[in-house]
């Protein structure tokens, strides 16, 4: 069995299409969709494309799915509220109900790998931030309930892989909004180990598509997420500071 882990697409349909083409060429059997699929400029097209995979796709919930589906969840800032309202209107009741139904984790026994747990932030929380620099003691706490040989997470949008107490822990990266040092769509292939992948696509063309969607402040969003994203280390530093300052991002809320 060959499993593709596609995380944090964030409504970036061009990136997703490029990755799915590579997935087909690689003969992937199962696609695990690791959360934060639709929170971005092309929410409907992105979610529907993944759902069109049928039984090949195993979905789990990220924090974005939970926040979109929860009518009581509202950002503090005006732009965040406008984007959330736009996304909910675009997605409609049926898709929001689908998001509401998703499990927090998915477990797959992968040939040559063994029991593999796919989660969004960590096995215990979709908000917990784990990075390449997360201290061993907190990483150990985060995966304590995993009961798996391999744990695949996302949420922090940068690829990394670590071995701890005989368990492989890896971040699949982000298909649609990566914090890396080269543009592209980042994902992972799980087959006889965990293999990080990067798929090239036309990022500038995607930015132009964003501007035509009606997503609030779409041009600025395209600049921040596609054309001038955070560097890998800057993102790691930000997330580790967040975990130190706010318990919910350290899995302790």
Tens of pLDDT along 207-229?
999 999 999 999 999 999 999 99
| pLDDT tens digit sequence for 42-59 | 999 999 999 999 999 999
Q: Is the pLDDT of residue 72 over 90?
A: no
Strand partners, 6: 33
Polymer length in residues for the chain: 253
Rounded Cα gap, residues 183 and 198, in angstroms: 9
Q: Is the pLDDT of residue 15 over 90?
A: yes
Q: Is the pLDDT of residue 84 over 80?
A: yes
DSSP 220-251: HHHIIIIISPPPHHHHHHHHHHHHHH-GGGGT
Rounded Cα gap, residues 161 and 148, in angstroms: 15
Q: What is the pTM of this model?
A: 0.96
Q: Are 105 and 123 in contact (CB under 8 A)?
A: yes
- Phi first, then psi: give them for residue 159, nearest 5 degrees: -80, 140
Q: Is the pLDDT of residue 253 over 90?
A: no
- Phi first, then psi: give them for residue 238, nearest 5 degrees: -60, -50
In this structure, what token pair is assigned to residue 170? 């890896």
Q: Are 208 and 197 in contact (CB under 8 A)?
A: no
Q: Domains in the chain, start-ordered, CATH in brackets? A: 3-250 (3.60.21.10)
111 pLDDT tier (thresholds 50, 70, 90): confident
């Amino acid at each position: 069995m060959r499993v593709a882990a596609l995380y944090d697409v964030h409504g970036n349909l061009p990136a997703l299409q490029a990755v799915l083409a590579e997935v087909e060429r690689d003969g992937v059997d199962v696609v695990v969709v690791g959360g934060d699929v639709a929170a971005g400029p092309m929410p409907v097209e992105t979610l529907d494309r993944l759902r069109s995979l049928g039984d090949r796709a195993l979905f789990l919930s990220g924090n974005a799915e939970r926040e979109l589906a929860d009518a009581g969840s509202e950002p503090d800032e005006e732009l965040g509220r406008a984007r959330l309202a736009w996304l909910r209107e675009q997605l409609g009741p049926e898709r929001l109900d689908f998001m509401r139904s998703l499990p927090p984790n998915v477990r797959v026994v992968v040939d040559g790998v063994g029991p593999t747990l796919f989660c969004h932030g960590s096995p215990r929380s979709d908000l917990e931030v784990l990075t390449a620099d997360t201290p061993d003691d907190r990483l150990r706490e985060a995966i304590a309930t995993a009961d798996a040989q391999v744990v695949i997470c996302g949420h922090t949008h940068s690829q990394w892989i670590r071995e701890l107490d005989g368990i492989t822990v890896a971040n699949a990266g982000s298909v649609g909004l990566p914090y890396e040092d080269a543009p592209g769509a980042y994902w992972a292939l799980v087959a006889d180990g965990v293999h990080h992948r990067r798929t090239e696509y036309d990022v500038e063309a995607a930015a132009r598509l964003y501007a035509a969607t009606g997503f609030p402040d779409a041009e600025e969003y395209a600049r921040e997420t596609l054309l001038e994203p955070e560097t890998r280390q800057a993102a790691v530093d930000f997330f580790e500071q967040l975990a130190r300052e706010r318990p919910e991002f350290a899995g302790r809320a």
